Chain A
């Protein structure tokens, strides 16, 4: 149930590839991971439009990295890392009117921006997750939505696999409290 064994190919855009081939590689990355990154961003920022913008930005940075003729061992991990870092930067800038403040004031950011992408059911989940701390939220998404191994998550979040396992447990318990399970 949990593990999606996706084919994590090593990616490389050689300088001797022509532009078309390069874009194809890039397109494939977007096709394969675009939705996952989008989901991750939604959970991080609880806003669909913003999540779309962030997703775009993630792939632009990814392109920047690709064109430097580097071999990317784990493109999925890299994409998540970029997404994570961009979300962090966004949070820093948003400190003055933080999401928590907004929620406390009764403003439901998800409601405002829920488009046809989000069913009421999903919006509810996003809402619940939004009550968790940022760290917990990202762990839950990576583990239970995208089905990543703790060791892959460890890579993305730059922690040891043990720390990740512990965090997963704690986050799950906290969510249970929120959901009154």
Chain B
């Protein structure tokens, strides 16, 4: 007999394989339960049901619970984060720089090595900020304490990242950490030294930042559960569609069309991810996150956005406030650091 026919008939023996009655019934039952839980209510769209996690409220930095905000905010020139980039400790926008811009840079670090290098760089920046304050005579006791805490936190983040990286990178980054420690303590202000020595792990800022950094490094090492990622993206995209639709009369038509188009693609990508392998899904969701990030960035230049403190999702926008102008009380617009004493 023709070997090929023999083969095909051989394999075709599997045709009769079926699920046993009991297995079929069991699976069907499970599927019904699943469908009931993830149901589509009549007249509504099938939105944000089921698996949105509740536990994300460790973070007091609202942006901190969006580790996947892969925004090129600074490059796009989004007003607030661009202004924040030059800010110093004590400035109004400094939390945006640390809590938001740097999270983005972390999210962009695609390998453990680049993550380690990034954290080391951020640590150096902390030192530079402290040195600058010192040089300008602005390093008050309070600021010293804050800086000490920031540096301690950043050192921890750097150490975490370093442990995962390759040896040459480890050597390089460990040297940077040592240099920063030394120089920071050497800052002649005795109060700085004192504050550095007293910075403890019970400081709430530190707890928050550690939680933030854990989430960031989870993202960096891909531990952010894929199903959570996917449902987060779904919720996030839908929230944006809702906000834009609600305020469409206030948005320029061209802008609105562009934003909705991006959200449309992001929605499609998020959906596609649900049927892909984990690896592919992750990169598809990253693409979707990039698009939603652009939309968020644009929105934040159009008006004052309202953000849900637990999830970091944009839930509203006030167009009457122009976010590009920040009233510093001295009428100078953004980018001008104020005297930290006066700001209190």
Chain A contacts to B: CB under 8 angstroms? 2, 13, 15-19, 22-23, 26-27, 30, 34-35, 38-39, 42-43, 52, 55-56, 59-61, 63-65, 67-70, 78, 81-82, 85-86, 88-89, 92, 115-118, 121-122, 125-126, 128-129, 140-141, 144-145, 172, 175-176, 179, 181
Given A34-B27, A82-B275, A181-B3, do A117 and B19 touch, yes or no (CB 8 Å)? yes
Q: In the complex, which residues of chain B have a beta carbon less than 8 angstroms from the beta carbon of A118?
A: 17
Most buried by B among A85, A88, A121: A85
Cα–Cα distance between A156 and B100 once the two chains are bound (Å): 41
Nearest CB to that of B24 among chain A residues?
A34
Cα–Cα distance between A53 and B294 once the two chains are bound (Å): 39
Q: In the complex, which residues of chain B have a beta carbon less than 8 angstroms from the beta carbon of A23?
A: 32, 35
Complex contact B10–A179 (CB within 8 A): yes
Cα–Cα distance between A179 and B6 once the two chains are bound (Å): 10
Number of B residues with CB within 8 Å of any CB on chain A: 42
SS class, residues of chain B in contact with chain A: helix
Contact of B38 among A56, A67, A88, A126 (CB under 8 A): A67
B203 at the interface (CB under 8 A from A): no
Contact of B35 among A22, A69, A89, A181 (CB under 8 A): A22
3 closest A-B pairs (Cβ-Cβ)?
A: A144-B11, A67-B46, A85-B277
Nearest CB to that of A56 among chain B residues?
B27
Contact of A35 among B19, B28, B30, B36 (CB under 8 A): B19
**B32: shortest Cβ distance to chain A, in Å?**
7
Give me 17 other A-B pairs in contact (C-beta within 8 A), A86-B277, A89-B277, A145-B11 excluded.
A13-B40, A23-B32, A26-B31, A39-B14, A61-B275, A65-B275, A67-B39, A68-B271, A69-B40, A85-B277, A122-B14, A126-B14, A144-B7, A144-B8, A172-B7, A181-B6, A181-B7
Complex contact B38–A125 (CB within 8 A): no
B159 at the interface (CB under 8 A from A): no
Complex contact B20–A117 (CB within 8 A): yes
Complex contact A125–B13 (CB within 8 A): yes
Q: In the complex, which residues of chain B have a beta carbon less than 8 angstroms from the beta carbon of A126?
A: 14
Contact of A117 among B18, B34, B44, B46 (CB under 8 A): B18
In B46-104, the 8 Å CB interface with A consists of: 46
Complex contact A30–B28 (CB within 8 A): yes
Complex contact B10–A60 (CB within 8 A): no
Q: In the complex, which residues of chain B have a beta carbon less than 8 angstroms from the beta carbon of A60?
A: 31, 34
B204 at the interface (CB under 8 A from A): no
Q: In the complex, which residues of chain A have a beta carbon less than 8 angstroms from the beta carbon of B11?
A: 125, 129, 140-141, 144-145, 175
Q: In the complex, which residues of chain A have a beta carbon less than 8 angstroms from the beta carbon of B283?
A: none
Cα–Cα distance between A87 and B157 once the two chains are bound (Å): 36
Q: In the complex, which residues of chain B have a beta carbon less than 8 angstroms from the beta carbon of A175?
A: 7, 10-11
B168 at the interface (CB under 8 A from A): no
Complex contact B38–A176 (CB within 8 A): no
Complex contact A19–B40 (CB within 8 A): yes
Q: In the complex, which residues of chain A have a beta carbon less than 8 angstroms from the beta carbon of B341?
A: none
Cα–Cα distance between A118 and B20 once the two chains are bound (Å): 10
Nearest CB to that of B2 among chain A residues?
A181
Q: In the complex, which residues of chain B have a beta carbon less than 8 angstroms from the beta carbon of A181?
A: 3, 6-7
Cα–Cα distance between A55 and B277 once the two chains are bound (Å): 15
Cα–Cα distance between A97 and B331 once the two chains are bound (Å): 67
Cα–Cα distance between A7 and B270 once the two chains are bound (Å): 29
A-B contact pairs, 13 of them (CB 8 A): A13-B40, A18-B42, A30-B27, A30-B31, A39-B14, A61-B274, A82-B275, A85-B276, A117-B17, A125-B10, A144-B7, A145-B11, A181-B6
B135 at the interface (CB under 8 A from A): no
Complex contact A144–B18 (CB within 8 A): no
Nearest CB to that of A23 among chain B residues?
B35
Complex contact A65–B3 (CB within 8 A): no
Q: In the complex, which residues of chain B have a beta carbon less than 8 angstroms from the beta carbon of A64?
A: 38, 274
B16 at the interface (CB under 8 A from A): yes
Q: In the complex, which residues of chain A have a beta carbon less than 8 angstroms from the beta carbon of B8?
A: 2, 144, 172
**A155: shortest Cβ distance to chain B, in Å?**
13
Complex contact A85–B32 (CB within 8 A): no
Q: In the complex, which residues of chain A have a beta carbon less than 8 angstroms from the beta carbon of B275?
A: 61, 65, 78, 81-82, 85
